[in-house]
C-alpha cells in the first residue's frame, strides 16, 4: 500500500518544521512549501494526498491556494491552518475551496494526527466506493452485451442448455416452452386414434390449471397439473379400441381389469423424466373417487393428491361434453350438472366449487387478445392461444411469433379447408 504524502504550506520555517516533526514519526511522506505558488508547482510534479495550508501568507493566501487545489486536484484532501482572528475569512475559504476541516493555531499534535488519519480514511473509502461503482458499471455493460447476444448463444450451445439454464433465465424459459410444446404434440398423437376426441387433453390441462390457481396451487404445482392434464390418457395407448368402446358403453358399470390398470401404466411411462415425476403421481391418482371407490389404489378423500382431485373434475367436465364418459354428448349446462351431482362422492366438494367459480368467471385471460381472420395475419403478430385445426389437431402453440413463412403456410392450409375456418387469436397489440 502506498505511503500517504502530505504537503505542508506555510511561509514560516518554524511552522513547517513543527508540522514535519508531528507527521514523520507516523510514517507519512512529508513535503513543505513556503508559498502558494511553490505548492502548486509541487502538486504539478507529484500527486499529494493532503494539502495543509496556512491561511495568512504573502502573495497567494491559503484560501486562494486551496480553491485552486479543489479545481485542479479535487481528490486531494484540503485542510486549513488559521488563527482565531481569521474566522470570517476561514468561513469564506471553506465555502469556496470545499475545505474538509480547518485547524486552529496553536494546534495539539494528537488532535492534528487524528484529523489527518480520519481524512485519509475518508478518502480511502471514497476511492473504494468509486472503484466499486466503476466495477459495477463494467459488469452491467458486460451483462447487457451478454443479454444482447443470448439468443444466438442459446442456438449455438443447445447441447449445453441444461447446465446453462440454472444461470440463464431466458434459456430456462425457452427450454420450458419447448418442453410444453413437445408434450402438446405428444398429447395430439395420443388422441389421433380417436379423432372425435381431439383437443380433449389440451382443454383438460388448461381447465385444470385454472382450477388449480383458484384453489391456491403455487406456480410449480400448476405447472405439474398442466402436464398431467396433457398426458393423463397416455396409459390408454396399449388398450384396444374395442375395450375403450366397451368402457364408454358400460357407463357406471363394472370396468375391465386391464382398464383399471391404465393410470398406473401412465405413471410408469412418465416416471423416467425427472421433470414429470410430480405430474406422474397426479396422473396415477386421477381416477380415484372422493368416496374411496376409485382406482387403481382405492384412495379416500384428501388422501388423494390435490392435483389428482382437480384433474378428475376437469377431465370429466370436458369428457361429458365430447362423449368420453358415455355415447351421448352433453351440453355445457348438463355437464355442469353431472359434476355437481358427484360432489362429495366422485369429486372433492371444494374442487367442484372451484370449477363452478372458474366457469362463472369465464376466460379471464392475463393479456387481451382478439380473434382475426386468416387474411388479416401479418408478420410480427404473436399468437395468444394455441392454433388448432377444426378437428382439434395442434398446428402452432400460443406465444409463437409469426414470420412471413408461417403466415403464408397458415393461409395455404386454410385454403384446403372446406367449410370450417381456422380460429386464430393474436395479442391485441399485434393486431392493432
Say yes or no: 83 and 34 in one domain: yes
What digits encode the pLDDT tens for the residues 75-113?
Answer: 888 898 887 555 666 665 565 556 777 788 888 888 888
Q: What pLDDT is attached to residue 159?
A: 59
For residue 236, the 8-state DSSP code is G
pLDDT value at 175 more than 70: no
Any idea what the CATH number is for the domain that residue 384 is in?
Answer: 3.90.105.10
Helix (H, G, I), strand (E, B) or coil at 297: coil
Domain boundary among 336, 361, 386: 361
> Is-cis flag, bond preceding 106, omega within 30?
yes
Q: What pLDDT is attached to residue 196?
A: 57
For residue 422, the 8-state DSSP code is P
**Domains held by the chain: number:** 3
By residue range, what is the domain housing residue 393?
369-431
Residues 142-163, mean pLDDT to the nearest whole number: 66
Residues 265-273, mean pLDDT to the nearest whole number: 83
pLDDT value at 390 more than 70: yes
Say yes or no: 273 and 380 in one domain: no
Average pLDDT, the chain: 81
Higher-confidence residue of 114 and 94: namely 114
Higher-confidence residue of 413 and 305: namely 305
Q: What pLDDT is attached to residue 96?
A: 58
Higher-confidence residue of 84 and 245: namely 245
C-alpha dihedral (185, 189, 192, 193), degrees to nearest 10: -160
- Partnered with residue 8 across adjacent β-strands are 32, 52
Spell out the long-range contacts of 234-243 with Cβ–Cβ below 8 A and sequence spacing 24 or more: 234/186, 234/190, 234/266, 234/269, 234/270, 234/283, 235/261, 235/262, 235/263, 235/264, 235/265, 235/266, 235/267, 235/268, 235/269, 235/283, 236/190, 236/262, 236/266, 237/190, 238/262, 238/265, 241/193, 241/194
Say yes or no: 351 and 376 in one domain: no
Say yes or no: 317 and 218 in one domain: yes
Say yes or no: 392 and 285 in one domain: no
Residues 56-74, mean pLDDT to the nearest whole number: 88
Say yes or no: 417 and 400 in one domain: yes
What digits encode the pLDDT tens for the residues 349-384?
Answer: 999 999 999 999 874 444 467 888 888 888 888 887
Higher-confidence residue of 171 and 117: namely 117
Among 179-188, 379-388, 421-430, where is mean pLDDT lowest?
Answer: 179-188
Flag whether 140 is in a domain: no
Any idea what the CATH number is for the domain that residue 90 is in?
Answer: 3.40.50.2300
Domain boundary among 322, 343, 361: 361
pLDDT value at 344 more than 70: yes
Say yes or no: 195 and 322 in one domain: yes
The answer to whether 230 and 188 have CB atoms below 8 angstroms apart is no
Flag whether 412 is in a domain: yes
Say yes or no: 232 and 351 in one domain: yes
pLDDT value at 171 more than 70: no
Residues 189-203, mean pLDDT to the nearest whole number: 67
The answer to whether 243 and 260 have CB atoms below 8 angstroms apart is no
Flag whether 87 is in a domain: yes
Report field, pTM of the whole predicted structure over 0.75: no
Amino acid at each position: 500500500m502506498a505511503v500517504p504524502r502530505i504537503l505542508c504550506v506555510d511561509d514560516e520555517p518554524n511552522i513547517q518544521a513543527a508540522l514535519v516533526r508531528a507527521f514523520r514519526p507516523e510514517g507519512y511522506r512529508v513535503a513543505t512549501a513556503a508559498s502558494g505558488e511553490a505548492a502548486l508547482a509541487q502538486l504539478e510534479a507529484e500527486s499529494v494526498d493532503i494539502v495543509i495550508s496556512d491561511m495568512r501568507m504573502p502573495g497567494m493566501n491559503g484560501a486562494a491556494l486551496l480553491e485552486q487545489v479543489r479545481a485542479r486536484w479535487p481528490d486531494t484532501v484540503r485542510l486549513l491552518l488559521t488563527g482565531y482572528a481569521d474566522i470570517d475569512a476561514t468561513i469564506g475559504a471553506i465555502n469556496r475551496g470545499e475545505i474538509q476541516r480547518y485547524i486552529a493555531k496553536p494546534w495539539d499534535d494528537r488532535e492534528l494526527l487524528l484529523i489527518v488519519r480520519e481524512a485519509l480514511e475518508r478518502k480511502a473509502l471514497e476511492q473504494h466506493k468509486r472503484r466499486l461503482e466503476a466495477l459495477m458499471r463494467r459488469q452491467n455493460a458486460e451483462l447487457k452485451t451478454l443479454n444482447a447476444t443470448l439468443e444466438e448463444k442459446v442456438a449455438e450451445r443447445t447441447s449445453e442448455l441444461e447446465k446453462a439454464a440454472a444461470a440463464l433465465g431466458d434459456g430456462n424459459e425457452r427450454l420450458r416452452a419447448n418442453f410444453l410444446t413437445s408434450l402438446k404434440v405428444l398429447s395430439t398423437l395420443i388422441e389421433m386414434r380417436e379423432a372425435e376426441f381431439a383437443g380433449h387433453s389440451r382443454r383438460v390441462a388448461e381447465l385444470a390449471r385454472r382450477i388449480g390457481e383458484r384453489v391456491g396451487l403455487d406456480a410449480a404445482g400448476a405447472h405439474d397439473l398442466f402436464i398431467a392434464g396433457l398426458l393423463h390418457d397416455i396409459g390408454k395407448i396399449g388398450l384396444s379400441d374395442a375395450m375403450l368402446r366397451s368402457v364408454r358403453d358400460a357407463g357406471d358399470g363394472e370396468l375391465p381389469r386391464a382398464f383399471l390398470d391404465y393410470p398406473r401404466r401412465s405413471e410408469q411411462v412418465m416416471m423416467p423424466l425427472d421433470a414429470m415425476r410430480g405430474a406422474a403421481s397426479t396422473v396415477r391418482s386421477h381416477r380415484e373417487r372422493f368416496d374411496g371407490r376409485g382406482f387403481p389404489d382405492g384412495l379416500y378423500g384428501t388422501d388423494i393428491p390435490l392435483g389428482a382431485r382437480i384433474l378428475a373434475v376437469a377431465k370429466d367436465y370436458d369428457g361429458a361434453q365430447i362423449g368420453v364418459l358415455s355415447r351421448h354428448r352433453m351440453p355445457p349446462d348438463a355437464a355442469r350438472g353431472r359434476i355437481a351431482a358427484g360432489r362429495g362422492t366422485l369429486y372433492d366438494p371444494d374442487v367442484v366449487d372451484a370449477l363452478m367459480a372458474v366457469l362463472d368467471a369465464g376466460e379471464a385471460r392475463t393479456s387481451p387478445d382478439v380473434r382475426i381472420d386468416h387474411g388479416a395475419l401479418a408478420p410480427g403478430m404473436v399468437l395468444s392461444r394455441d392454433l388448432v385445426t377444426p378437428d382439434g389437431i395442434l398446428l402452432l402453440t400460443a406465444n409463437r411469433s409469426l414470420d412471413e413463412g408461417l403466415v403464408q403456410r397458415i393461409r395455404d392450409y386454410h385454403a384446403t379447408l372446406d367449410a370450417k375456418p381456422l380460429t386464430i387469436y393474436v395479442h391485441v397489440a399485434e393486431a392493432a
